[in-house]
Amino acid sequence: MTVAAAVALAALVLAALVVATWAAVWRAAPRVEMVTKPLALLALIALAVTLGAPGTDVGVSVLVALGLALVGDVFLLGSGARSFVGGLGAFLLSDLAYLVAFVMLGFHWIPALVVLVLALFVLRTAGHRVQAGATREGGPWLGGGTTAYMLVLSALAVTAAGTALPLVLAGALVFLVSDLVLGLDRFVGPRARADLVVMVTYHVGQVLMVVGALTSATASSGLR
C-alpha cells in the first residue's frame, strides 16, 4: 500500500468513527459513544503515523499529545468527579505536548500577541465564570485545577498562533471553544446541545491541529 493510500484509508476510517460518535451523542447513546470515541482517537493516531509523525520531533510530540488525549477521553466517559479530574489532568498534559510541538514549528510574535489579547479576554470573562463555578462545586482544588487548565489551554492557542500556520491556529481556537463550552455547561449552567457542540469542536480542533502541524513538519524535514 502506498503512503497516499494509507493516508486516505486512515482518513476514511477516522471520518466514519467521528460521525458515528457525533450521532451517538445526538441520539444519547452512551454505550455506542464509549466504543466510537476512543476508536476515533486511535484512528487519528493512525492518521498521524501515516502522515509521518514518527519521523520528526514535532510528530513525536503530537503523538504524545494524542496518546494523552486518548487517556483523557477514556476518563471522561465516566460520570463521577474522579473521572472528570482524571480527564482534566490528562488533557492538561496533552495540551502541553501540543504546545511543545507548536513551539518547535516556529514562533511569530505578531499573530501570537493578537491571540494573547483574545485569550486574556476569554479568561477574564467566560473563564472567570467557569473557575468560580468549579470552586463552588469542588472547592479550591477543583477551582485551581480548572484555572491551571485554562491557562495552559490559552498558552496553547498563543503558541498555535505563533506558528503562523492557518490550520494549526484554526484547530487550536476550535479546540478552545470545545473546552470553554464544556466548562460553561458543567460549572455555570446547562447549554442546549452542549454535548454535541463539545464533541464536534473537539474532533475538528484535534484533526486541524494534527494535520496542520504534521504537514508543515514533514515538509520542512523533507520526508514528503
- The DSSP letter of residue 126 is I
Per-residue pLDDT, 191? 84
CA distances from 1 to 54, 163, 168 (A): 18, 32, 28
CA–CA separation, 118 and 112 (whole Å): 10
C-alpha cell of residue 85: 479530574
**One pLDDT digit (tens) per residue for the chain, 224 residues:** 798 899 999 999 999 999 999 999 999 999 999 999 999 999 999 999 999 999 999 999 999 999 999 999 999 888 777 888 899 999 999 999 999 999 999 999 999 999 999 999 999 999 999 999 999 998 998 999 999 999 999 999 999 999 999 999 999 999 999 999 999 999 999 888 999 999 999 999 999 999 999 999 988 766 55
Q: Are 212 and 220 in contact (CB under 8 A)?
A: no
pLDDT for the residue 110: 96
Where along the chain do its domains lie?
3-221
User: Which pLDDT does position 109 carry in this prediction?
Assistant: 96
Rounded to two decimals, the pTM is 0.94
Quick one: which of 34, 41, 33 has its CA closest to 66?
41
Q: What is the pLDDT of residue 145?
A: 93
